[in-house]
Structure formats: C-alpha cells, structure tokens
Amino acid sequence: MLADEELDLPEIGERDLVAHFTRLAHRQYSVDAGAYPLGSCTMKYNPKASEAVAALESFAAAHPSAPDSMVQGCLEVICLVERAICALTGMKRATLQPPAGAAGELTGLLIMRAYHDAQGEERSKVLIPDSAHGTNPASVAIAGYETVVVPSDLEGLVDLGEFEKLLDDQTAGFMLTNPNTLGLFEKNIKTIAKLVHEAGGLLYYDGANLNAVLGICRPGDMGFDIVHSNLHKTFATPHGGGGPGSGPVAVKDHLVEYLPGPLPTLDPATGRFMQVQPAKSIGRVHANHGNFAIVLRALAYMTSNGPEGLRRVAEMAVLNARYLQARIAGAYQMPYTGDCMHEFVASAGEMRRETGVRALDVGKRLLDKGFHAPTVYFPLIVDEAMMFEPTETESLETIDALADALIEIAAEAQTDPDVVTQSPHTTPVRRPDEGRVSNPKTRRLTADMNAGR
Amino acid sequence: MSFIPHTDADVGVMLDTVGLDSTINLFDSIPDEIRLDFPPSSGVPQALSEPELIASMKALAGRNRGELVCFAGGGAYDAFVPAAVSSIAAKPEFATAYTPYQAEVSQGVLQALFEYQTLICRLTGMEVANASLYDGATALVEGVALAAAVTGKSKIVVGAGLNPRFRQVLETVASGHSWDITSVPLEGGVSAWPSIDGDVAAVVVQHPNYLGCLEDVGLVTARASEAGALSVVVTDPISNGILKTPGALGADVVVGEGQQLGGALNFGGPYLGIFATKDAYLRQVPGRIVGETVDADGKRAYALALQAREQHIRREKASSNICTNQTLMAIAATAALAWLGPQGLRRAAESSSLLAHYLADRLCEIPGCSLATTAPFFREFALKLPLPAADVIERLADEGFLAGVDLTGDYPDFGDAMLVAVTENRTRQQADQYVEAMNKVIKK
C-alpha cells in the first residue's frame, strides 16, 4: 500500500517558484489591468475592500463542520446575503450552496423536477430560447429533461406565437434570461409568465444579466418562480481566471420546501442562526455551504453600495453600453434596433463579406489596442456576433478609448485588412493553433519551472 | 462607497449622445407595471464607507468562535498554506481574469492550468486531468457520470466509507440521471466489497476513507474491471505523498477534494475538485482542459483543448454543464505542490500520520475512549467517546480546541463518536494538550 518511489513533482526553491508565477502573471490580462467588455460575463472591477473582508482570520479559519454555536458569524453572513438576494429579485428564500451559475441552473431544474413530482406529474421537456447560454441546454440535459428551443422574433425577443405552440402539458418550465443575451428586455414577460403558469410549468430566470436591472425591477415581479444569480458577475466577486464563482438559487414561496438543505436560518425565538432542512428538500448540491468566501465578498460589495448604490450600478451599466453602442454604430452593424440594456450585440457579417475581416479578428485586434475582446460568435443567432458588456465601472474616458479603438479597427478592415486578420501583433503569443493542441499530459513542467521560463 | 467613476458632467455628455433626458429613460423598454420607483431597501444592507464596512465585517467575524486549535477534518482540513502560495494565489492578474477564451492574453492562466493538470496526473498516477471542478463532491458526481456514459449502465456501488456529504450530493444529482445507488457496508472501518454485478457502471471507493481508514483499492479496481464497471477512486492528495497512487492501484477515474493544497478552510468553500482519468476517456472528461500547442510563429503556446466537448459548443449534448470552475484554487494547488516538492509532500504525509497515531494511542488510554475502527488509518480516526460527541466538542472548545467532527448522525452504529484529524499544521505539544483537555472534560 505504501508508495515504492517518490512522486515526480517539481523540485524548486521558493525564489524560483515565485519568479515563475510572476512571469506567468505578466502574460495575463485581467480586470485590474484594464477594460474587459466580455459580453454576458459582467467583468466589472472587483473592489479591494471585499478582498480585505474575505481575508479576516475568523472567517478564513472557520471549519464547515463546526457546531452552529461556533460559526454564528458565518451563518449570519449567509443569511444576510440570502435576504439581500431575495429582496433584489423579489423571491422568498434562497440557497447559497451552488458554487457557480451552471450549478445554480442544475439546482433550479432539480427543484423544478421535485415540484412536478410532488404534484404527481411527469413532465419531459424544458423550453429555452435560441439565444440562451450554452449552460442552459447542458443543465437541462443533466436534470433529465429534453431541451426544446424557442425561436426569437425579428425584434430579438421570444417569438410569442411560436412559444405558445411549443408550450404544452409536457413542459416542465421555461428558462429565460432577462434582459436576454442580445441585451434586450423581454417586454412581454408578464404574458410569457401567464402562459407558462397556465400550462402548469415554472418560469426560470437565468441571472446572468441581473446587473442590468438591479434595483430597477425584479424577476419575482415579472412572474419568475426560480432565479439564479451570479455573485461573480453582479456582485463583483473576482472571476479567479475562470472561477470560483457562486450561483445562489432563490425561489418563491411555493418552492421553498424543495430548496437544498441545510438552509441557514435565523431562529427568531433565540436570535441564533441554525441550519434547517426544508421539508421536501432536493438534498445537498455542495458538500458544505457553497463558496462561502465568495458569498462573503458579495456581502462586502452589497454593503459598500447599499440599495441606492446598487440601483446606480444598473443605471451606469446600461448607460455605458448604450453610449458605446451609439459611438460605434456607424462602424459596425447592429442587427437589432431595440434599446439595449447593459450589453449589446454587434455583427461583423457585412465587414466579413466586404473585407474578409471576421468578428474573431476584430476581437484579436482589440487585444493589440490594450483591451480585452468582446464575446464572439455568441449568441448563435447573430452572424459574426460580437457581444459587448462594458460594465458600470469603466469611466467615460475608457469607453471613449474603447470606442475609438473599435472605430480604428473598422477603418483598418477597409484600408489594411491584413493587419486585422493577422492580429494580434503585440501579445506574448499569436493565434495558437487550436487544431494542434496536444494531449494534456506532458512531462515538461518540472524543467520549465526550474529553467524559469 | 461606490465604484462608479462617472461625474455628473460625464453622465450629461453620455445622455446627450444617446438622446435621452434622464437616466430613468434608459429603462423605457421595461413595462411600467414591473418598474420599481425606489430600489428595495428592506433586506439590502445600507451603504457603508470602507472603514465602516471593515469594522462591521470584523464584528460579524467576531461572532465566530475563533482561535481554536483545529483537530476537525472530514473533508476540510486546517492545512498549512505557505505565504508564497497565498501571495501567488492573490495575484490580481490571476484573480481578476476570467476563463482564458482569448489565449493570446491568457498565457499565464493557461500555462498555470496546464501545469496543474500535469501535477494532478503525477499525484494521482493518471494520464489526463481537467483544469478543476467545483469541489470533491461535484468531482465525484462527474466521475460517476463519466462511468455511466462510458459503460451505458446506471447502477452505482458506493462504499460506506465515502464522505456522507459527497454521498448526499451524488444522490441529489442522481435524481436527474435515474442512477441506482447501492451501499457497501463497513467492516472494521473499511468497506466489505462484494463481487460486482455485470450491470454496474461505477464502483466508488474513498481512500483513505471518511473515517481515515485505508481501503483495499487494488481489490476494488480489479473487481470493477472484471465486471465491466469503472472504478472511481476518491483520493486525498496529501496521502499520495506516502501511499501508492490510485493510478498504480488500477483506478479508472480519480476524483478528490484538493482544498488541502494551498486552500484555507473558508467555512467550506471555495475548494478544489480534482478530476483525472485515463487517456481512453479523454473525450468524456467534463469541464475545461488546457493543452500545449504552437502559435502562428511556431512558439510554444497554451490553449483550451477539446472545446467540442463543452456546453458552449455542444449545448445539450455536452459532457457536462460546467462553465466557471475553480481556476484560482487550481493555481494555488499548483504552487503548493511545487512548494512542497516530492520530499515535502512525503514529510507532510508522514509526520501527520505519525502524530495522528500517537494521538490515537494517547486518547485510547482515557477510560471510555476507543477507536471505532480496526483497519489501518492514515491521519484521521473515528474515536468512540463515553459522552455525547456534541457535548465533548462544546466542552473542548472551552479548552481551546475544535475537537473533531460529530459522527453520531452519519454513523449511528458507533454510538457516541467523533472524527479526529491531524494535519501537518499540528504539533506534538498541541496533541499532548488536546489529550490533557480531553481527560479533563471526560472526568468532569
């Protein structure tokens, strides 16, 4: 049972280790370095005070299996964030166990399944719009449902006529992002909610775009039954190079008993926080309490802003997007004319036909000009899509510089398309060959760290 | 405190440009009936300045019982985190980036993740690893999903030595998959493995198991293989410094909780889901994978690999729904493993195991205390107590210790019992003081 030989791990001094990672850090763009208008990802500035709060020793050293009496502070943090999420989304209770947005989706869908099971109903399908995030259909499949895609209309909104045709007694629910991934508000949402509920289904809110409507309107008032939010987007917790995130799921009254347990709860009789198992809980979705240190940062952010500040977040997020769109509207096609919210989708379709420059190339050229690229080729319903979400933390000067860079690129596409299609020119590497990406196993690592490359 | 940089003049200029009179008009496409006149105030914290915020959060933190010497484990450990590792993981270039979709400006995260995958392969003895999952429990679920997809079967056999909370998460997700989960009971602290039927997709064994005991992993993987099932081994990364790797013991899939590699306790998250398997199953691997390639100039470069498995391309046919993972924890783990090196990892495993055995011996000298298991253990053990575990844990807190994890609910057969863990952070002196405190508490 004992190992015969030592593991093949790097043998490297601390000095070289730190140098190695410092060099890697120099080859990495980040929000701290500059604007990051990656649509649907809400790459806003991550306040340093939130980091200071997360570093507090009594939080960082708290053991997840300690008796409730010894972790009252942690349980209170969870309950405070739950309350704020419910207030902002118009819901009754929430779980903070899901460690990411997609995990929140799966949790919400399992709640949906448990609800229908309890009504003695077996429903087989979940509707999603054709503009939905890829996680939506993937989560639907894992929850054991079939995905049915609802087309968008010419305005970029859910096609109500088609939607009604697809809705039936097999529909477990409808997953919707509002504003949707085109950055447009689904103004028929009350009608959609009524139709879903009449068919016996539940309405699920994908909170990827909650930043647009924070304090302005609430999914609960729109008729949604289940809401997931992304603390790493809306509430400014750092994205960590791709995680950790946090994807709380909030529900209306009629679904509270299905929430994952245990659910930290204030006992009004004693004023103490305890953990309660909801009556028909779907069970745990995380081994502990979710990504607590992320939840804690979100609380710090909410507390920094307060109610008025959070509403101001939505206002400035939408103003920045609207302004950037107006600035570049002459240089790029805008396939949908509706008023955008916190993000918008431009198309490089015409540019590609005229000059050969694609959305991908525009994104790469933007890297040369010191910005991160937008989300490209999503949503799938837009040809050569470029999705911009500047967020509220970028100043007018930054948005102007970003707009100027995009206008320059459009001009380059006409005058010198090669400079765009061959870009980037200034980054540490250029256009890695994705077709030749190796088998992820290699034996080169140790040498690398030692040689300090 | 606000993080919005706009002056009133800026807002005026911008509104003019977009042809609006007021910011309120930005939301004209939202129907009036659902528009709020004021932001919800009840339930949302009132705004504080930065010093007020810090003071208020310190007060909240003060409601935890701090300063306890931690002998609790059960999947979450008071691991030693070197200052260099904390410093690396705190680098804003890593912390404030997102998924490396734009490889040209993400070589730092991509290379670090590539190194992480390499180290996880070596640590587990496997051929491929992904770039991390949320935590040990969700990695287990994905491991079982891979086994079910590969075998086309749905029966899952699980040793009762699996972390009970991992088991609960598995059961929750199983409801969407129609997986049929059966348990293998414990004998002497390890699973009494039966022969495996031909309709089994996955055999799940945790080693060392939740009670710290060493399972017969070689037997499990051989039996699974004979039956056409996949073995899913839940590993403890530190134990691999001293024990044979799961790969060497024949595992098909290795998953585990990587929090001990550079992560704080943080009340249970964010942690790190380790996932590794054989080359043959590469296309069924969930989540991100980073690979090495060359760029347009022939230079070595790193990029996301095999994206055709992933949800943003394959949607409902994806191998999993994962989008955001735990990159920052993976970077910390990479730095922690490199900081330890092979000897350091071995020392951490050996010294904590020795101290755990010393502590167990000393505790068992106390009347009424005994081990609940008979199998060899690594650095965590189940201790039977003459008093209810909850009382012992509360009273030992008054002596300055977080004594362990109460086992009464999860393993009722043991009677009054708790799980005691020893990490490389504990000292002989602390162990002696713990024994003394236990003596005092039990004699009272």
- Residues ≥6 apart with Cβ < 8 Å to A290: A95, A96, A97, A98, A99, A246, A248, B268, B269
Question: How close does chain B come to A346, measured CA to CA in Å?
Answer: 17
Residues 6+ apart with CB under 8 A from B52: none
Measure B237 CA to nearest chain A CA, in Å.
12
Which of A30, A214, A286 is closest, CB to CB, to B169? A286
Alpha-carbon distance of A144 to A138, in angstroms, equals 10
Cβ of A289 within 8 Å of Cβ of B293? The answer is no
Q: How many helices (H) and strands (E) does chain B have?
A: 12, 17
* Binary contact (B295, A430; C-beta < 8 A): yes
Specify whether A116 is located in the same domain as A245.
Answer: yes
Chain B contact for A3 (CB, 8 A cutoff): yes
| B1 located within any domain | no
Both A275 and A348 in one domain: the answer is no
Q: Are residues A56 and A33 in the same domain?
A: no
Ramachandran class of B187: left when φ > 0, alpha when ψ lies in -120 to 50, beta otherwise: beta
Do B324 and B378 belong together in one domain?
no
The answer as to whether A449 is a domain residue is no
| A94-129 pLDDT, tens digit each | 999 999 999 999 999 999 999 999 999 999 999 999
| Gap from B427 CA to chain A (nearest CA, Å) | 18
Residues B218 and B347 in one domain: no
Based on the structure, what is the number of domains in chain B? 3
Q: What is the pLDDT of residue A446?
A: 52
Mark yes or no for CB contact A25/B94 under 8 Å: yes
Interface with chain B: mutation pick from A48, A65, A83, highest number of B CBs within 10 Å: A65
Per residue of chain A (453 residues), what is the pLDDT tens digit?
888 888 999 999 999 999 999 999 999 999 999 999 999 999 999 999 999 999 999 999 999 999 999 999 999 999 999 999 999 999 999 999 999 999 999 999 999 999 999 999 999 999 999 999 989 999 999 999 999 999 999 999 999 999 999 999 999 999 999 999 999 999 999 999 999 999 999 999 999 999 999 999 999 999 999 999 999 999 999 999 999 999 999 999 999 999 999 999 999 999 999 999 999 999 999 999 999 999 999 999 999 999 999 999 999 999 999 999 999 999 999 999 999 999 999 999 999 999 999 999 999 999 999 999 999 999 999 999 999 999 999 999 999 999 999 999 999 999 999 999 999 999 999 999 877 776 555 545 554 565 444
CA atoms within 13 A on the CB side of A106: 32
Chain A residues with CB under 8 Å of B299 CB are: 429
Q: For residue A304, what are the CA distances in angstroms to A49, A113, A235, B1, B37? A: 9, 37, 11, 5, 22
- Burial state string for A344-371 with b = 16 or more CB within 10 A and e = fewer than 16: bbbbbbebbeebebbbbbbbbbbbbbeb
B363 and B330 in a common domain: no
Tell me, yes or no, whether A2 lies in a domain. no
Give the closest of B112, B176, B328 to A244, CB-based: B328
Q: Does A197 touch chain B (CB under 8 A)?
A: no
Per the domain annotation, does B3 fall within a domain? no
Which chain A positions have a beta carbon within 8 Å of B340's beta carbon? 9
Q: Which residues are CB-neighbours of A18 under 8 A, at least 6 positions away?
A: B84, B87, B88
- Backbone φ and ψ of A326, nearest 5°: -65, -40
CA dihedral A191, A196, A202, A208 (to 10 degrees): -50
Q: Which residue in A has a C-alpha nearest to residue B78's C-alpha?
A: A61
β-strands B417-421, B380-384 pairing:
antiparallel
Q: Are residues B370 and B431 in the same domain?
A: yes
Q: How far is A415 from chain B (nearest CA, A)?
A: 23
Domain that holds residue B269: 83-335
CB contact under 8 A, A21 and B303: no
In total, how many domains does chain A have? Answer: 2
Whether residues A59 and B267 touch (CB distance < 8 A) is answered with yes
Do both A231 and A82 map to the same domain? yes
Of B335, B360, B390, which residue sits at a domain end?
A: B335
C-alpha to C-alpha distance for A145 and A372, rounded to whole angstroms: 36
**Does A441 contact B118 at a Cβ distance shorter than 8 Å?**
yes
Please judge whether B14 and A319 are an interchain contact, meaning their C-beta atoms are less than 8 angstroms apart.
yes
Residue with tokens 């129907």, as numbered in its chain: B31
Q: How many Å apart are CA A450 and CA A13, to the nearest integer?
A: 9
Alpha carbon of B198 to those of A18, A20, B179, B201, B274: distances in Å?
51, 49, 15, 9, 28
Structure-token match 């490889």, residue found: B103
Candidates A26, A99, A240; nearest CB to B95: A240
Handedness of CA A55, A57, A63, A66 (dihedral sign): negative
Co-location of B323 and B363 in the same domain: no
Please give the backbone phi and psi of residue B343, each rounded to the nearest 5 degrees, phi first: -70, -40
Half-sphere exposure of B115 (CA within 13 A, CB side): 28
Tokens of B413: 């057969």
Q: Which chain A residue has its CA at the smallest distance from B28's CA?
A: A339
Closest alpha carbon within chain A to B10: A396
Indicate yes or no: CB of A72 within 8 angstroms of CB of B36. no
CB contact under 8 A, A70 and B314: no
Distance of alpha carbon B74 from alpha carbon B381, whole angstroms: 10
CA distance B1 to B423: 41
Interhelix angle A72-89/A292-328, rounded to 10 degrees, is 30
Residues A125, A18 share a domain: no
| Residue A448: partners with Cβ closer than 8 Å, 6 or more residues away | A20, B115
User: Which residue shows structure tokens 């016996």?
Assistant: A200
Q: Establish whether the linkage from the previous residue to B40 is cis, with ω within 30° of 0.
A: no
Q: In this structure, which amino acid lies at residue A346?
A: A
CA quadruple A96, A99, A101, A107: dihedral positive or negative?
A: negative
The tokens of B423 are what? 């990490």
Give the distance from residue B443's alpha carbon to the nearest chain A alpha carbon, in angstroms. Answer: 22
A115 and A231 part of one domain: yes
Contact B6 A396 (CB under 8 A): yes
The domain boundary, picked from A267, A285, A304, lies at: A304
Q: Which of B266, B307, B313 sits opposite A293 (nearest CB)?
A: B266
Same domain, residue pair B45 and B118: no
Does B269 share its domain with B315?
Answer: yes
Enclosing domain of residue A31: 14-46+310-431
Element housing B235 (H / E): strand B230-235
Phi, psi of B355 (to 5 degrees): -65, -35
Residue numbers in A near B78 (CB within 8 A): 61, 63
The partner residue sitting opposite B4, judged by closest CB among A86, A285, A312, is A312
Tell me, yes or no, whether A288 and A159 share the same domain: yes
Q: Pairing state of beta strands B380-384 and B370-371?
A: antiparallel
A372 inside 8 A of chain B by CB: yes
What token pair was written down for A146? 């079939």
Residues of B in contact with A404 (CB under 8 A): none
Where residue B201 sits, what CATH number does that domain have?
3.40.640.10
- Report the residue from B11, B30, B122 with minimal CB separation from A7: B122
Other C-beta atoms lying within 10 Å of the C-beta of residue B168: 18
Q: Tokens in use for A99? A: 């460690």
C-alpha to C-alpha distance for A281 and A100, rounded to whole angstroms: 20
Helices (H) and strands (E) in chain A, counts: 16, 12
Q: Are residues B38 and B94 in the same domain?
A: no
Q: How far is CA B369 from the centre of its chain?
A: 31
Together in a domain, B433 and B331 = no
pLDDT digits over A57-73, tens only? 999 999 999 999 999 99
CB contacts < 8 A (A, B): 633
What φ, ψ does residue B277 adopt, rounded to 5°?
-155, -165
Residue B145 shares a structural domain with residue B199: yes
**The domain boundary residue, chosen from B335, B365, B380:** B335
Q: Which of A88, A78, A64 is nearest to A294 (CA)?
A: A78
Please state, in angstroms and rounded to a whole number, the distance separating the CA atoms of residues B324 and B301. Answer: 22
Give the position of tokens 């990695």. B139
- Asked if B138 and B170 sit in the same domain, the reply is yes
Give domain status of residue B2, yes or no: no
What the block records as the tokens of B134 is 């949320």
Q: Do A315 and B101 touch (CB under 8 A)?
A: no
State the CATH number of the domain containing residue A406: 3.90.1150.10
* Same-domain status, B268 and B205: yes
User: Do residues A330 and A201 share a domain?
Assistant: no
Q: Is A222 in the same domain as A189? A: yes
Of A287, A265, A364, the closest CA to residue A97 belongs to A287
Distance to chain A for B198, nearest Cα, Å: 24
The per-residue pLDDT string of chain B (444 residues; one tens digit each, 9 = 90 and over) reads: 899 999 999 999 999 999 999 999 999 999 999 999 999 989 999 999 999 999 999 999 999 998 999 999 999 999 999 999 999 999 999 999 999 999 999 999 999 999 999 999 999 999 999 999 999 999 999 999 999 999 999 999 999 999 999 999 999 999 888 899 999 999 999 999 989 999 999 999 999 999 999 999 999 999 999 999 999 999 999 999 999 999 999 999 999 999 999 999 999 999 999 999 999 999 899 999 998 889 999 999 999 988 877 777 778 888 788 888 899 999 999 999 999 999 999 999 999 999 999 999 999 999 999 999 999 999 999 999 999 999 999 999 999 999 999 999 999 999 999 999 999 999 999 999 999 999 999 987
Beta bridge partners of A249: A95, A228
Residues of chain A positioned with their CB less than 8 A from the CB of B97: 28-31, 239-242
- Same-domain check for residues A230 and A314: no
Residues of A in contact with B393 (CB under 8 A): 67
CB atoms within 10 A of CB B280: 11
